[in-house]
Amino acid sequence: MIEDIEIGELRTLCQVIQEKYKYDFNNYAISSFKRRVIRFLELFKVPNMTVLIEKIKTDPAFFKTFMNELTVNVTEMFRDPSLWRDIRDKVLPNLFSTQETIKIWHAGCSSGEEVYSMCILLKENGWLDNVKIWATDIDENILAKAKAPKYNMKNMFEVNEKNYIRYGGTGKLSDYYKEEHGVAHMDTSLVSNVTYRTHDLVKSGIFNKFDLILCRNVMIYFNQQLQNEVFKLFHESLFNYSYFIIGSKETLIWSEIAGKFITINQEEKIFKKVKE
């Protein structure tokens, strides 16, 4: 059993990572960051922080493993089904009423379930050829999984399919994957308009402009100061009168850009940019 980690030790860890690998975790939320580090120490039987920091300094392969475990990749298809109904019935019809093609960014897409949810929704409504999608994450390893998805069948039944049914899709979720040995191989033709790439919200900056950005359950791992910076990046990356969707328990009311957005749906956390 690992004893408590001191804040000072976490700071040192962040410094070492920043110097050697150019990732900046200084402004991640302490509560979850600390839990992830303790979890890693236990999982990989690292006796204490001094050993961890030393290994990270000297062993890039070890750091990669550490990065994988540090990020929280837990995700679902059609998480918050009622949000996806709103995307289908309000957000997308509104966007398509004035333009033929739209650009979507899934920031922090993890293993890609959110992207597949979007593509299934688009396909069922005849919009799939009218979008270009960018799906990004800081974690290379999880992006590789997103590109060639093999989802666990138990999860598929217990989480994803239940969400899909609550959302009210027109088909069956099993129309979109083939099962082999307890694993669901997703139909990758759904994502032929998706570009997957690594992107670090902390430092990579703007790379395109979008009509719809989803960044759900990513910024909850950041402190408020960093959230504020990332909100500015999203504001900059959106066309005027385009949509921004965050996690169901996130908020931007206190941030610098709050006044440049209007709330479309408070419950589902759908916002619209109305000011440059």
Partner 1 sequence: MSLQNLNIDKSRFKAVVIGGSAGSFQVVTKILAEINPGFDLPIFMALHRLKHVRNGFVEALMLKSKLNIVEPDDKESIKRGIVYLAPSNYHMSVELGYKIALSTEEMINNSRPAIDVTFDSASYVYKNKTLGIMLTGANKDGAWGMKRLKDRGGFAIVQEPSECTIDTMPTAAIKATQVDMILHTSDIIKVLNSLV
Ligand X SMILES: C[S@@+](CC[C@H](N)C(=O)[O-])C[C@H]1O[C@@H](n2cnc3c(N)ncnc32)[C@H](O)[C@@H]1O
Give pairs for 150-153: CB < 8 Å, separation 24+.
150/183, 150/184, 150/185, 150/186, 151/111, 151/113, 151/177, 151/183, 151/184, 151/186, 152/182, 152/183, 152/184, 153/179, 153/182, 153/183, 153/184
Looking at beta carbons only, is 136 or 242 nearer to ligand X?
136
Say which entry of ligand X, partner 1, none residue 32 contacts (CB below 5 to 8 A, set by partner kind): partner 1
Cα 136 from Cα 105, distance rounded (Å): 8
Say which entry of partner 1, ligand X, none residue 138 contacts (CB below 5 to 8 A, set by partner kind): ligand X
Say which entry of ligand X, partner 1, none residue 80 contacts (CB below 5 to 8 A, set by partner kind): partner 1
Q: Smallest gap, in angstroms, from Cβ of residue 50 to ligand X?
A: 26
Say which entry of partner 1, ligand X, none residue 250 contacts (CB below 5 to 8 A, set by partner kind): partner 1
Do you know the residue count of the chain?
276
Looking at beta carbons only, is 119 or 219 nearer to partner 1?
219
CB atoms under 10 Å from CB of 235, counted, come to: 20
CB atoms under 10 Å from CB of 40, counted, come to: 18
**Which whole-number Å values give the CA distances from 101 to 95, 123, 130, in the listed order?**
9, 14, 5
Binding site for ligand X (CB under 6 A): 71-76, 79, 108, 110, 114, 137-139, 142, 200-202, 216-218, 221
Q: Smallest gap, in angstroms, from Cβ of residue 12 to ligand X?
A: 20
Looking at beta carbons only, is 139 or 268 nearer to ligand X?
139
Q: How far from the centroid of its chain's Cα atoms is residue 260's Cα?
A: 23
Cα 91 from Cα 80, distance rounded (Å): 15
150 burial via Cβ count (<10 Å: 0-12, 13-18, 19+): middle
Give the single-character DSSP code of 3.
P
Q: Smallest gap, in angstroms, from Cβ of residue 29 to ligand X?
A: 11
Say which entry of partner 1, ligand X, none residue 188 contacts (CB below 5 to 8 A, set by partner kind): none
- Residue 223 phi/psi, 5-degree rounding, is -80, 175
Looking at beta carbons only, is 75 or 242 nearer to partner 1?
75
Q: Smallest gap, in angstroms, from Cβ of residue 259 to ligand X?
A: 25
Binding site for partner 1 (CB under 8 A): 4, 7, 29-32, 34-36, 72, 74-75, 80-82, 162-163, 166, 217, 219-221, 223-224, 227, 247-251
Say which entry of ligand X, partner 1, none residue 142 contacts (CB below 5 to 8 A, set by partner kind): ligand X
Looking at beta carbons only, is 154 or 181 nearer to partner 1?
154
Looking at beta carbons only, is 211 or 268 nearer to partner 1?
268
Q: Smallest gap, in angstroms, from Cβ of residue 26 to partner 1?
A: 13
Type of residue found at 225: Q
Cα 107 from Cα 249, distance rounded (Å): 17
Say which entry of partner 1, ligand X, none residue 191 contacts (CB below 5 to 8 A, set by partner kind): none
Looking at beta carbons only, is 92 or 219 nearer to partner 1?
219
